């Protein structure tokens, strides 16, 4: 992007004039305005002495002006020396709105499509570059007015560049991004800075990550307030919610959610918790919608890009995860549409006719655009993994899934994605993937999600049995994956399935026997099986229960670190603390630092005292 020679301070501008300057207060900012010759008064000195004093006075004034400006710039972090020392996590000094960052380069990345005569920097540049002046909404080209490209309609400009550009890469907008960036931050002292190689993923340096679930792809159990409607309205997923609200109201409701549910503070805390990777689920309607889709299109795109910049600031590497694909890849609410007959690479579009395989093709088209965009140099160091499809349904035949995954892998790598590509084991179990999709080395990684609570046998294990299971069969399973490179993309500390809406809106729980009429599945298998504590405030948890929860979490961490590592599900919830890493971290039942566990597999299982098995 072309950078004008101005620095935005709140609502005012500093312009470096080449002639004379005057100062005026403007919205608590400082403005130096160039004065024209008509503002200068012509004076004749009465004698030579007067001329000398005049020049001395002018020199003093210039020094005072320069000192004031430099002081303001330093105070606002607008100027300063660059450093090659990596900053760590929450102490990182680079800022998404700062002009002091430097960019990375790659000769293989696609160049921006320029529609507005501006250019994105793709060269290493340590120069102090000033942000662009905010664009005037009145100057916005007519075709963008009232669209997602109209910044005057955005709920917030926090963390966004306020200069308009219509540039795109892969057909996706750059609007809101700064033209420079810095990759010298690292999440903590145990991992390299973003601009340094991670090395080999595995037990010696595993992923220790967390998901940002329920944010850009809604899940009712994470944000139940968005689904607080009478049962008769059947508001059970993002499809029915947006259809009920209508386009205009849905846009308002969801942008408020995007802007407030996850903020910069969350990424700062993720790094402070000793985590080093973030998995960010998002939906295809961040890119575009189709046919009668009621989803809010494109607004979530800019929040995804802003999240990447905040991850960059705190040294967090990212796994992009396309969580919802056209036609729904599994028919579950987190795919956008909770339906019995999903229509992804199977379903009605597989029948002969003009729409045969339509959603298969659409899913590849979404990846075509995404991969071209994220192959840009600015994302080379921060995007550590590129995910193809979250949890395709078990009933998708393996051969069809292999075929689509092969096409998607070839497409995104051809478009310049150099990060490892990740595909889901699709609830088929790790052994099903032995010998499949071979020949890609570490460039193709299998993602397995490990939950005990959705299995009626495993959910009934006692506290001690759960821990032993994690350190035994579960650890051996992920470590011995016959596919090859394997990560655990989701797991949880939850030991029951009692959380409101977890099994679907208005559905019950296996734990207490209210899920479609099953009998109670907790260890006692009777009417003592209780869900009351699951939604309780963590401050009410007993010491014994907190000890179990932390040991249970650390057992799974130990197990999954034998693979390429893990991503906890999820960072934040409104009212489900057993699914919130943040709540557990703050509540004292998660290690203070993910890389410093107080218990590991092989240690003696603690005594949980009188902790009952039925809650």
pLDDT one-digit tens code per residue, 6-31? 333 333 333 323 333 332 333 333 33
Please tell me the predicted confidence (pLDDT) of residue 25: 36
Please tell me the predicted confidence (pLDDT) of residue 222: 98
CA–CA gap between residue 22 and residue 205 (Å, rounded): 57
166's tokens: 């219509």
Q: Sign of dihedral through CA atoms 221, 505, 366, 564?
A: positive
Whether residue 564 is predicted with pLDDT greater than 60 in this model: the reply is yes
Please tell me the predicted confidence (pLDDT) of residue 133: 76
Nearest to 214 by CA among 174, 260, 248, 251: 260
- So where are the chain's domains? 207-587
Q: What are phi and psi of 443, to 5 degrees?
A: -85, -10
Alpha carbon separation from 353 to 184, 317, 356 (Å, rounded): 53, 43, 5
Q: What is the CB neighbour count within 10 angstroms for residue 41?
A: 5
Tell me which residue has tokens 């967390």.
Answer: 210
Please tell me the predicted confidence (pLDDT) of residue 353: 60
Q: Quick check: 599 and 551 in contact, CB under 8 A?
A: yes
Q: Quick check: 496 and 612 in contact, CB under 8 A?
A: no
Q: What is the mean pLDDT of residues 259-287?
A: 99
For the range 253-259, what are the long-range contacts, defined as Cβ-Cβ under 8 Å and sequence gap of 24 or more? 253/226, 254/296, 254/299, 254/300, 255/154, 255/155, 255/296, 255/299, 256/155, 257/215, 257/218, 257/223, 257/226, 258/215, 258/216, 258/299, 258/300, 258/303, 259/155, 259/156, 259/158, 259/303
Q: Which residues of 381-401 are buried (b: 16+ CB within 10 A; e: fewer)?
A: bbbbbbbbbbbbbeebeeeeb
Residues in the chain: 615
Using one digit for the tens of pLDDT, what is the confidence trace for 570-587?
999 999 999 999 999 999
Strand 444-450 to strand 277-283: parallel, antiparallel, or no bridges (unpaired)?
unpaired
Helix or strand run (H / E) with residue 6: strand 6-9
Q: What is the mean pLDDT of residues 266-294?
A: 98
Nearest to 296 by CA among 370, 218, 181: 218
Using one digit for the tens of pLDDT, what is the confidence trace for 353-396?
666 789 999 999 999 999 999 999 999 999 999 999 999 999 99
Whether residue 94 is predicted with pLDDT greater than 60 in this model: the reply is no
CA–CA gap between residue 517 and residue 34 (Å, rounded): 77
Tell me which residue has tokens 């797991």.
Answer: 491
Listed in sequence order, the residues at least 6 apart from 53 whose beta carbon sits closer than 8 Å to its beta carbon are none
Listed in sequence order, the residues at least 6 apart from 509 whose beta carbon sits closer than 8 Å to its beta carbon are 496, 497, 498, 502, 503, 515, 531
Helix (H, G, I), strand (E, B) or coil at 598: coil
Tell me which residue has tokens 């630092």.
Answer: 593
Please tell me the predicted confidence (pLDDT) of residue 134: 87
419's tokens: 């990060």
Q: Quick one: three-class SS letters along 404-423?
A: HHHHHHHHHHHCCCCCCEEE
Please tell me the predicted confidence (pLDDT) of residue 157: 96
Using one digit for the tens of pLDDT, what is the confidence trace for 325-340?
999 999 999 999 998 8
Please tell me the predicted confidence (pLDDT) of residue 58: 56
> Domain 207-587 adopts which CATH fold?
TIM Barrel (3.20.20)
Please tell me the predicted confidence (pLDDT) of residue 64: 52
Please tell me the predicted confidence (pLDDT) of residue 354: 61
- Annotated catalytic residues are 391, 490
Mean pLDDT of the chain: 84
Whether residue 209 is predicted with pLDDT greater than 70 in this model: the reply is yes
Using one digit for the tens of pLDDT, what is the confidence trace for 451-473?
999 999 999 999 999 999 999 99
305's tokens: 């890009």
Listed in sequence order, the residues at least 6 apart from 63 whose beta carbon sits closer than 8 Å to its beta carbon are none
Q: What is the CB neighbour count within 10 angstroms for residue 155?
A: 13
Greater model confidence, 225 or 139: 225
Q: What is the mean pLDDT of residues 251-260?
A: 99
Q: What is the mean pLDDT of residues 408-437?
A: 98
CA–CA gap between residue 539 and residue 548 (Å, rounded): 15
Whether residue 110 is predicted with pLDDT greater than 70 in this model: the reply is no
Q: How confident is the model at residue 57 (pLDDT cuts 50, 70, 90)?
A: low
């Amino acid at each position: 992007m072309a950078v004008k020679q101005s620095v935005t301070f709140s609502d005012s501008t500093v312009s470096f004039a080449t002639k004379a300057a005057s100062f005026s207060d403007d919205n608590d900012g400082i403005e130096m305005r160039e004065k024209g010759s008509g503002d200068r008064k012509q004076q004749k000195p009465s004698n030579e002495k007067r001329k000398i004093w005049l020049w001395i006075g002018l020199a003093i004034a210039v020094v005072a002006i320069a000192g004031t400006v430099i002081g303001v710039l330093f105070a606002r972090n607008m100027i300063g020396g660059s450093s090659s020392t990596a900053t760590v996590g929450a102490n990182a000094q680079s800022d998404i709105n700062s002009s002091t960052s430097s960019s990375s380069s790659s000769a293989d990345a696609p160049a921006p499509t320029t529609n507005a005569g501006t250019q994105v920097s793709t060269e290493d540049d340590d120069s102090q570059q000033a942000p662009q002046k905010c664009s005037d909404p009145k100057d916005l080209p007519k075709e963008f007015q009232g669209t997602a490209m109209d910044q005057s309609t955005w709920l917030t400009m926090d963390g966004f560049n306020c200069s308009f550009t219509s540039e795109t890469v892969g057909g996706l907008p750059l609007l809101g991004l700064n033209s420079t960036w810095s990759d010298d931050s690292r999440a903590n002292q145990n991992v390299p800075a973003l601009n340094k190689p991670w090395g080999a993923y595995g037990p010696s340096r595993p992923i220790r990550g967390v998901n940002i679930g329920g944010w850009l792809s809604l899940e009712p159990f994470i944000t139940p307030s968005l689904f607080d409607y009478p049962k008769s309205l059947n508001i059970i997923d993002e499809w029915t919610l947006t259809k009920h609200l209508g386009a205009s109201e849905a846009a308002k409701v969801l942008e408020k959610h995007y802007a407030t549910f996850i903020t910069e503070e969350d990424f700062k805390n993720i790094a402070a918790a000793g985590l080093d990777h973030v998995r960010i689920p998002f939906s295809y309607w961040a890119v575009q919608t189709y046919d009668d889709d009621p989803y809010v299109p494109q607004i979530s795109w800019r929040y995804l890009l802003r999240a990447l910049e905040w991850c960059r600031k705190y040294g967090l590497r990212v796994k992009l995860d396309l969580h919802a694909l056209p036609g729904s890849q599994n028919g579950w609410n987190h795919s956008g549409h909770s339906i019995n007959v999903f229509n992804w690479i199977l379903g009605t579009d597989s029948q002969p006719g003009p729409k045969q395989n339509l959603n298969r093709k659409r899913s590849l088209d979404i990846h075509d655009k995404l991969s071209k965009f994220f192959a840009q140099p600015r994302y080379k160091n921060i995007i550590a993994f590129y995910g193809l499809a979250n949890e395709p349904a078990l009933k998708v035949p393996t051969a069809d899934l292999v075929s689509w995954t092969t096409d998607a892998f070839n497409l995104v790598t051809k478009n310049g994605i150099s990060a490892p590509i990740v595909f889901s084991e699709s609830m088929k179990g790790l052994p099903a993937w032995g010998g499949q999709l071979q020949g890609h080395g570490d460039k193709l990684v299998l993602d397995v999600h490990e939950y005990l609570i959705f299995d009626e046998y495993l959910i009934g294990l006692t506290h001690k049995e759960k821990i032993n299971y994690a350190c035994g069969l579960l650890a051996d399973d992920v470590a011995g994956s016959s596919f090859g490179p394997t990560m655990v993309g989701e797991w949880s500390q939850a030991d029951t399935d009692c959380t409101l809406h977890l099994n679907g809106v208005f559905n019950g729980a296996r734990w207490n026997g209210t899920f479609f009429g099953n009998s109670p599945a907790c260890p006692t298998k009777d009417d003592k099986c209780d869900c009351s504590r699951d939604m309780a405030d963590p401050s009410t948890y007993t010491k014994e229960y907190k000890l179990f929860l932390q040991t249970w979490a650390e057992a799974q961490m130990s197990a999954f670190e034998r693979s390429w590592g893990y991503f906890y599900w999820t960072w934040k919830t409104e009212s489900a603390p057993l699914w919130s890493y943040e709540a557990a971290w703050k509540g004292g039942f998660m290690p203070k630092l993910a890389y410093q566990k107080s218990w590991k597999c092989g240690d003696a299982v603690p005594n949980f005292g009188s902790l009952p098995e039925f809650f």
